[in-house]
Amino acid sequence: MFKCYFCQGKTEIKNVDVDFRWGNKLFVIQDVPVEICIQCGERYYSAEVSKKLDDLVKNKAKNPLNTLEVPVFNWQ
């Protein structure tokens, strides 16, 4: 546990779902251990977690556990 860079709040590790973009694709990775500020919600990813996210998307993108339909809108 450490202090948040932005608000100086305390952080704790929680397993969360992460929306991860790779190129023009969007992936959702479930149960990722992320250090999160309990005051402002800022997320901190360890080098190990960041590397594993990259590896999961590169190596398993063709065999996901599930597929979600995501609506896309234009701002204008």
- The pLDDT, as a whole number, for residue 33 is 98
pLDDT tens-digit map of 15-67:
999 999 888 889 999 999 999 999 999 999 999 999 999 999 888 777 888 99
Domains and CATH numbers, the chain: 11-60 (3.10.20.860)
Residue with tokens 């952080």: 11
Q: How far apart are CA 56 and CA 45, in angstroms?
A: 15
Identify the band that residue 1 occupies on the pLDDT scale cut at 50, 70 and 90: confident
